């Protein structure tokens, strides 16, 4: 796919890609390949009819966590709601307990298979949030594990500090005091090079807009971009607030209203759609896709990989669900896991196949791009190239 291409998906029939180092040097129709590019090429690969897309980008995950929440899944099937469980001290708090109890090595071992599953479907860049540590020690541990994953595997990891995810038990009834703590954690983690962006959960079971704004102010002072879990369970005005801070993205958005969508459009914030959470929580309120389209808000699609609302390690399945549940077109879904996902992470060097951008791409054994979101549970990936190298 190429930016602003007039044909669907920007598809180029019988294409060639020249790679130099970790970058794309040239891309176009094979017959147009410049003679000097071809002459300087010391290795040729025949893609044998594969469809080539940019490396997939999973732009919203909570991949590093301890334990699981299968028991709460049973409780929910018995009638308890996600909010009931959270209010009774379960939900995010139970994962916080398991994450704090895990050593760094254990956390790494538990997270690695999830990462590998995503990479097995062509993910070359992934965002990983903290938010199950909720103290300096355990948030730092989580973010270090995220960084270590990128050292061990051929994948790029962007880390997001989500200290304002839930109230840890030791701060029960003292949410404002906990936000003070978050504001103290942020510069310390940033100093250790562990933070690429800052996120918060703005919701009636989490933090208010006023509390979220304090976190955003602190991020702004450090020059860090912000993102927000917004309007997932109610319309709390989070999207407008995030837009005022030039948020890279607002995520979930089932309850997003017209003003929020307009504010996002003005700010250039991406709408990150998370059909896995919608499905797993048996939600019935679909994010306002038509409204987002009308306002020209770019849409991304992500797994939200986490133990409570989306225990999912398949971005391809999310493309399918974005189409079936949210009525995205397969072309929008694919852009949501490539071009718009890159934008949601503030990354300008990937997400499309263009000269000068990273040579992150996937060879798929499919005839047409719609097959990537059409099939459920199949994986047509033949080969991933990450930074110009087979991965």
Q: Is 229 or 386 the residue whose CB approaches ligand NIG more closely? A: 229
Beta carbons within 8 Å of 344's beta carbon, 6+ residues apart? 59, 60, 127, 227, 248, 249, 270, 272, 300, 302
Burial of 21 (0-12, 13-18, 19+ CB in 10 A): exposed
Contact pattern from residue 261 through residue 280 relative to ligand NIG, giving x for each residue in contact according to CB under 6 A and a dash for the rest: ----------------x---
Question: Least distance from C-beta 306 to ligand NIG, angstroms?
Answer: 5
Contact pattern from residue 295 through residue 334 relative to ligand NIG, giving x for each residue in contact according to CB under 6 A and a dash for the rest: ---------x-xxxx-------------------------
Question: Least distance from C-beta 43 to ligand NIG, angstroms?
Answer: 42
Distance CA 240, CA 246 (A): 10
Q: Are 351 and 34 in contact (CB under 8 A)?
A: no
Contacted entry of Fe ion, ligand NIG, none for residue 303, CB cut-off 5 to 8 Å set by kind: none
Q: Is 148 or 309 the residue whose CB approaches ligand NIG more closely? A: 309
The residue of the chain with the least Cβ separation from ligand NIG equals 308
Footprint on residues 285-314 left by Fe ion (CB under 5 A): 304
Stretch that binds ligand NIG, among 88-96, 115-123, 253-261, 322-330 (CB under 6 A): 88-96
Q: Is 271 or 370 the residue whose CB approaches Fe ion more closely? A: 271
Burial of 171 (0-12, 13-18, 19+ CB in 10 A): middle
The reply on whether position 360 binds Fe ion by CB under 5 A is no
Q: Is 232 or 320 the residue whose CB approaches ligand NIG more closely? A: 232
What strands lie across the sheet with 299-301, from one edge to the other? Answer: 227-230, 249-252, 270-273, 299-301
The residue of the chain with the least Cβ separation from Fe ion equals 304
Contacted entry of ligand NIG, Fe ion, none for residue 95, CB cut-off 5 to 8 Å set by kind: ligand NIG
Encoded tokens for 369: 């791009």
Footprint on residues 221-250 left by ligand NIG (CB under 6 A): 229, 232
User: 269: closest CA among 305, 225, 234, 233?
Assistant: 225
Question: Least distance from C-beta 318 to Fe ion, angstroms?
Answer: 13
Q: Is 243 or 277 the residue whose CB approaches ligand NIG more closely? A: 277
307 phi, psi to nearest 5 deg: -80, -15
Q: Is 281 or 335 the residue whose CB approaches ligand NIG more closely? A: 281
Question: Least distance from C-beta 262 to Fe ion, angstroms?
Answer: 24
Residue in this structure with the two tokens 């594990």, named with its chain if needed: 145
Tell me, by CB under 6 A, how many residues bind ligand NIG. Answer: 13
Q: Is 17 or 128 the residue whose CB approaches Fe ion more closely? A: 128
Residue in this structure with the two tokens 């510069």, named with its chain if needed: 187
User: Per-residue b/e over 78-112, b at no fewer than 16 CB within 10 Å?
Assistant: eeeebeebbeeebbbbbbbbbbbebeeeebbebbb
Tell me, by CB under 5 A, how many residues bind Fe ion. Answer: 1
Beta carbons within 8 Å of 391's beta carbon, 6+ residues apart? 119, 124, 154, 155, 384, 385
Question: Least distance from C-beta 40 to ligand NIG, angstroms?
Answer: 47
Q: Which positions lie near ligand NIG, rule CB under 6 A?
A: 62, 91-92, 95, 201, 229, 232, 277, 304, 306-309
Q: Which residues bind Fe ion (CB under 5 A)?
A: 304
């Amino acid at each position: 796919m190429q930016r602003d291409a007039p044909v669907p998906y920007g598809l180029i029939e019988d294409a060639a890609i020249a790679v130099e180092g970790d970058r794309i040097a040239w891309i176009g129709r094979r017959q147009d390949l410049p003679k000097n590019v071809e002459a300087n090429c010391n290795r040729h690969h025949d893609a044998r009819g594969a469809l080539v897309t940019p490396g997939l980008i999973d732009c919203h995950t909570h991949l590093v966590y301890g334990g699981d929440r299968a028991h709460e899944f049973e409780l929910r099937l018995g009638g308890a709601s996600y909010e009931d469980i959270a209010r009774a001290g379960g939900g995010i708090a139970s994962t916080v307990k398991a994450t704090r109890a895990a050593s760094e090595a254990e956390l790494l071992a538990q997270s690695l298979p999830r990462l590998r599953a995503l990479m097995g479907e062509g993910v070359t860049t992934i965002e990983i949030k903290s938010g199950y540590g909720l103290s300096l020690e355990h948030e730092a541990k989580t973010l270090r594990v995220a960084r270590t994953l990128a050292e061990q595997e051929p994948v790029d990891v962007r880390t997001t500090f989500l200290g304002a995810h839930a109230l840890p038990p030791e701060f029960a009834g003292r949410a404002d005091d906990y936000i003070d703590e978050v504001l103290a954690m942020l510069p310390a983690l940033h100093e250790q090079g562990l933070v690429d962006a800052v996120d918060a959960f703005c919701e009636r079971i989490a933090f208010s807009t006023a509390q979220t704004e304090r976190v955003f102010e602190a991020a702004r002072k450090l020059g860090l971009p912000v993102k927000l879990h917004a309007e997932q369970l109610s319309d709390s005005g989070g999207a407008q607030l995030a837009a005022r801070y030039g948020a890279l993205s607002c995520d979930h958005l089932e309850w997003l209203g017209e003003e929020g969508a307009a504010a996002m459009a003005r700010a250039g914030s991406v709408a990150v759609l998370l059909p896995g959470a919608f499905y797993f929580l048996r939600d019935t309120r679909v994010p306002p896709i038509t409204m987002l389209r009308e306002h020209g808000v770019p849409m991304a699609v992500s797994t939200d990989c986490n133990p409570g609302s989306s225990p999912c390690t398949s971005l391809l399945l999310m493309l399918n669900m974005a189409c079936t549940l949210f009525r995205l077109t397969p072309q929008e879904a694919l852009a949501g896991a490539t071009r718009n996902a890159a934008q949601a992470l503030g990354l300008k060097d990937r997400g499309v196949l263009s000269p000068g951008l990273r040579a992150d791409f996937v060879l798929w054994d499919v005839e047409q791009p719609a097959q990537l979101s059409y099939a459920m549970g199949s994986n047509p990936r033949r080969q991933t190239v990450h930074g110009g190298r087979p991965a």
